[in-house]
Structure 1
């Protein structure tokens, strides 16, 4: 068969369901082979970056990779931001790019560049196909590498002349393996540290939202009462309404939850990624006793030097601790400081629940209303900007993977295409993307994709006419900010032009009804609100100088 046909068959054998992207001359053979697949759906996007974000959201929600596709040269460079975002945020993803024929790669040639070398820093593995017979092995390794802990992005390059070649080989059969568990002796050491602590605390990160890990984490917290705070990307690892839930840590300012961490004498990190919340922000004196539970050994960091490391399958490591506590019972810990921090944070969340401001809406009210109209399994996707900080602090989850916040690479532009990708696997769950006006406009062209697919999504855009997070940080550090203002379209005409349902909501009392109206509408819906970012400086004055990203 032709090499491109073999490639598609290998992807089918791996269970690949979606390919998002833009086609070109150098990947034409592959795309034509894809037309004959009854299993894999190709989604044409309006920009390659949107394709990568769609694949990223799909990967986060399913645990399996989708593919984002681009041709050589500018197609490959357009993909790279979304690919880097998926890799640093640990979403399984495969990026497939075309390339000029191997007969012209050695010389200056139209659109030819070393794409594999370009992708090596932002993927777990990057490989060009040099011979059609190697396709089954490359595809098998790519899927295993993308899915394996910690998940991430993998790049495959398929040159146009390789795609046309004939081959006699066949796809490989996927085979799974069990991740190694933690040694009993190490589990005993961790258990003794935790059991003899006065007031332990758990920081649950991105690795804790895997379903089995979340189940074991909840079991540990329920039987011991140990409080759990999550990072932005760990939201939903525990139910925020549980008494032991300490909401979210991750703001660059010293927040209520940070007081609880400072009081703890043992900090247990579960699936914690230093990339999204540096330990210097919660352990600046490097004095905390840390128990590290993760798929990988701890990153070397002065403020993150664990006393014990449980390296292996996170769910299995938590299960081992649970067995020991079930055997011995829970100690009499002192969680008074943690409980007080929870009460203060809960009061902050509820303070503006009944706002009725006119002409402008506070961030706290916007997030409160989103939480009220969504169910436990519905999904929120955040962009990057000031809205992300408010969402991180005030929006909390019942279930894992119901709030997707890019907080490793922190690329703007994810929520609109991400919501489109999420809607494809929603299974009845409602999808809401929250973006600032700057974030939303970075991939506004995907409004057409959403309409073409009839994506049942709601986009909530916070309008302030500028890059709010940057001005927030500059105001805190310099007392003023540089030129960060811009203009916006007529939002309702924009929605109409793309065939979306559109609403502009000026008054806080009308927001919840407008959100419910958008969710009830079948198809893509846009809700825009004027946001009151004077609350940014008020929060800084209450909590301290803003230092986060």
Structure 2
């Protein structure tokens, strides 16, 4: 029996990836479900040839999908991994040079959001015989430096395979990180273009089916006891549910814990959907983009139980959300780094396992009927506010909140809303009525403009039985709409709602709060008299652009036409876009919260000086949790 098989490095990589699986709770998942790729001289003869050969000889082993933008395909892979609760992902390959560095932003997004994505950029010649090759960065510091070194700080794992013998350790090292819930993020294996095409005799064991067991670490007894003791001492506790609740599939355990103890639940952007919006202990979003219900409970909470959250500045309202003078934290997290934040009692363990243990060990503890009723009443008041925002009836152009309301009304309980940047994520966090743990998909770790459409493609690939609604502003659409072509090519039905407000209107609103008067945020001609960008609006037609890419397009004038158009869009079989103009000057309901964005300390503009005064007042409430 042969003990080796002769393959190129590219072929060996593809064959290895096709045999990787994860297992959790006794259920196995194919880990690398396919490979996005854009080919150039740096990867065509290696990984490109290997993917072609796999498609011909072993269809479905590692399905190749064509992309239009390297950053976009990484976003799609991140969205895919998020929808699969990090138990499956997609690989991405690009050529050396701009193809590779186009993936850097996607790598940063994946790592910041703790999402497993495998990147396989081409690289320079290992032999150096033809140096400098096309697109090579020549560094006088050393010949082993290439543009791919930019991946190092934004990847959780990085390796460069200078010789075929190094490939097995690189692949296994990447898989170790990708399948570790505490360490996961982007994993980058740079593959020199000559090495990719080089043949080697590989041990057959490298290509055997390999199952990576994803653990559920149980809480250490002493740490659990400390957490229980602190929670039992609380008079006004609250839970902050983060993305770890969703990834751990701990929503049911969270519901049981909240109901048993009477502790209400606020949600981060990544944790939204941890409880259904209408649960009596669901306070909704917490922090700078939160609800008044969650933020009023947060203000007076004496113990905050963070579950799977990294406590971003939006979640803590830049450390102004929790104002109890003696507030303390219990932090349940799979990573020790996050569990130690805010000098909290750390419980480094799986969210679901810890919630089950806390429910058991806190038997008999209850916040009381009055506290439960306070949480319910605050949430009910906020829901009334949401309903008003949904039915605002603003003329002549609708408010963004009305658009959100129509999408929420017409979407199914298991459908997915996707967004990433602009004012829409904040409005969605406050206003979206989430009914399913996977129904809310807003990328707010990196808040990357351009994620939305590519993310919609990845989410639909991961969950084809759900409708995916992509809410995107014109500014973000212009950043990256190319993956609409991928959706057309693959027959991927995503429903894109394009909100046209003629500029970067989220930053426009923010700029007013910092005294910059919407400078540089409107899409306008340059005025020949003043020399400023304050002339007439640009005649940009993004609906026509989408139609030119092969997308079914509906134009809506007003909220009634939008509702009718969205109903039509739901019946589409491929990608469809609904275009609507909105009034950017109508804000969503206030969250009674603050976000730290520094204001110029010295200025001649009255608006800036007034903004500085308001900033210093907000800054006064900021505190360290020590």
The unaligned stretches of length 5 or more in structure 2 are 1-6, 21-29, 138-145, 524-537, 599-626
Aligned pair partner of 1:32 in 39, 43, 49: 49
Aligned pair partner of 1:521 in 572, 581, 587: 572
Deviation at 1:285, TM superposition (A): 7.5
For residues 289 and 463 of structure 2, the distance between their equivalents in structure 1, rounded to whole angstroms, comes to 32
Contact 1:465 1:488 in 2 (8 A): no
Query: What is the DSSP-based 3-state SS (H/G/I as helix, E as strand, rest coil) of the residue aligned with 1:434?
Result: strand
Instruction: Give the RMSD, CA atoms, in angstroms.
Output: 2.4
Aligned pair partner of 2:198 in 145, 162, 165: 165
For residues 78 and 126 of structure 2, the distance between their equivalents in structure 1, rounded to whole angstroms, comes to 30
Contact 2:291 2:430 in 1 (8 A): no
Name 1:44's counterpart in structure 2: 66
Name 2:333's counterpart in structure 1: 294
Name 1:332's counterpart in structure 2: 368
For residues 313 and 417 of structure 2, the distance between their equivalents in structure 1, rounded to whole angstroms, comes to 18
Aligned pair partner of 2:8 in 2, 25, 34: 2
Deviations 1:114-153 (A, max 9, x none): 2442111111011111222332332222123123123311
Deviation at 1:181, TM superposition (A): 1.8
Query: What is the DSSP-based 3-state SS (H/G/I as helix, E as strand, rest coil) of the residue aligned with 1:233?
Result: coil
Name 1:504's counterpart in structure 2: 555
Aligned pair partner of 2:234 in 174, 193, 197: 197
Deviation at 1:94, TM superposition (A): 0.8
Deviation at 1:182, TM superposition (A): 1.2
In the TM superposition, 1:315-464 aligns within 5 A as 315-325=352-362, 327-328=363-364, 330=366, 332=368, 334-464=371-501
Name 1:21's counterpart in structure 2: 37
Query: What is the DSSP-based 3-state SS (H/G/I as helix, E as strand, rest coil) of the residue aligned with 1:24?
Result: coil
Name 1:92's counterpart in structure 2: 116
Query: What is the DSSP-based 3-state SS (H/G/I as helix, E as strand, rest coil) of the residue aligned with 1:143?
Result: helix
Change (3 A) 1:284 1:146: farther
Choose 352-361 or 427-436, whichever is displaced more.
Answer: 352-361
Deviation at 1:384, TM superposition (A): 0.2
Deviation at 1:312, TM superposition (A): 1.6
Deviation at 1:544, TM superposition (A): 6.3
Q: TM-score, length-normalised on structure 2?
A: 0.82
Which structure: greater helix fraction? Answer: 1
Name 1:270's counterpart in structure 2: 307
In the TM superposition, 1:87-236 aligns within 5 A as 87-104=111-128, 108-113=132-137, 114-150=146-182, 151-169=184-202, 170=204, 171=206, 173-176=210-213, 178-236=215-273
The unaligned stretches of length 5 or more in structure 1 are none
Choose 61-70 or 505-514, whichever is displaced more.
Answer: 505-514
Contact 2:295 2:592 in 1 (8 A): no
Change (3 A) 1:229 1:545: closer
Deviation at 1:202, TM superposition (A): 0.3
For residues 488 and 579 of structure 2, the distance between their equivalents in structure 1, rounded to whole angstroms, comes to 18
Q: TM-score, length-normalised on structure 1?
A: 0.93
Aligned pair partner of 2:276 in 219, 239, 264: 239
Name 1:11's counterpart in structure 2: 17
For residues 477 and 288 of structure 2, the distance between their equivalents in structure 1, rounded to whole angstroms, comes to 22
For residues 46 and 510 of structure 1, the distance between their equivalents in structure 2, rounded to whole angstroms, comes to 32
Change (3 A) 1:342 1:254: closer
Choose 518-527 or 209-218, whichever is displaced more.
Answer: 209-218
Change (3 A) 1:32 1:392: same
Name 2:342's counterpart in structure 1: 304
Name 1:56's counterpart in structure 2: 78
Contact 1:246 1:338 in 2 (8 A): yes
Deviation at 1:515, TM superposition (A): 1.4
Query: What is the DSSP-based 3-state SS (H/G/I as helix, E as strand, rest coil) of the residue aligned with 1:535?
Result: coil
Query: What is the DSSP-based 3-state SS (H/G/I as helix, E as strand, rest coil) of the residue aligned with 1:216?
Result: helix
Query: What is the DSSP-based 3-state SS (H/G/I as helix, E as strand, rest coil) of the residue aligned with 1:424?
Result: helix
Choose 207-216 or 450-459, whichever is displaced more.
Answer: 207-216
For residues 497 and 295 of structure 1, the distance between their equivalents in structure 2, rounded to whole angstroms, comes to 46
For residues 299 and 178 of structure 1, the distance between their equivalents in structure 2, rounded to whole angstroms, comes to 18
Change (3 A) 1:107 1:517: same
For residues 146 and 254 of structure 1, the distance between their equivalents in structure 2, rounded to whole angstroms, comes to 34
Change (3 A) 1:483 1:427: closer
Deviations 1:256-286 (A, max 9, x none): 4211111221110000113363531423687
Deviations 1:156-187 (A, max 9, x none): 11111211222222326334253432111221
Query: What is the DSSP-based 3-state SS (H/G/I as helix, E as strand, rest coil) of the residue aligned with 2:497?
Result: strand
